[in-house]
Structure 1
Amino acid sequence: MLIARNLSCSRGRRQILSGIDLNLPAGEMVGVLGANGAGK
């Protein structure tokens, strides 16, 4: 199991994400989708 809590991400002074929690059980998969240059 993968657990991540209270994640945040900023680009320069601009906060993009704040307070993100992720629980990923064993055997599960997750993908992150977005346009090129979106900061994935």
Structure 2
Amino acid sequence: MARVEGDVAFTTLLNRLLELKLAIPEEEVNWHFSLFSQG
């Protein structure tokens, strides 16, 4: 039973992640690259 629940939860999570979109245009995102932080 736990295996089935885990499979359903994982599949649902992946489907929701695939639907994520930025709330602002991509051009407005300020990217900061560093060895110590990501964002």
Common fold: TM-score over 0.5: no
Q: Which has the higher strand share?
A: 1
**Higher alpha-carbon Rg:** 2
- Between 1 and 2, higher relative CO (CA 8 Å, sep ≥ 6) is seen in 1
**Taking structure 1 as the reference length, what is the TM-score of the superposition?**
0.19
**Taking structure 2 as the reference length, what is the TM-score of the superposition?**
0.19
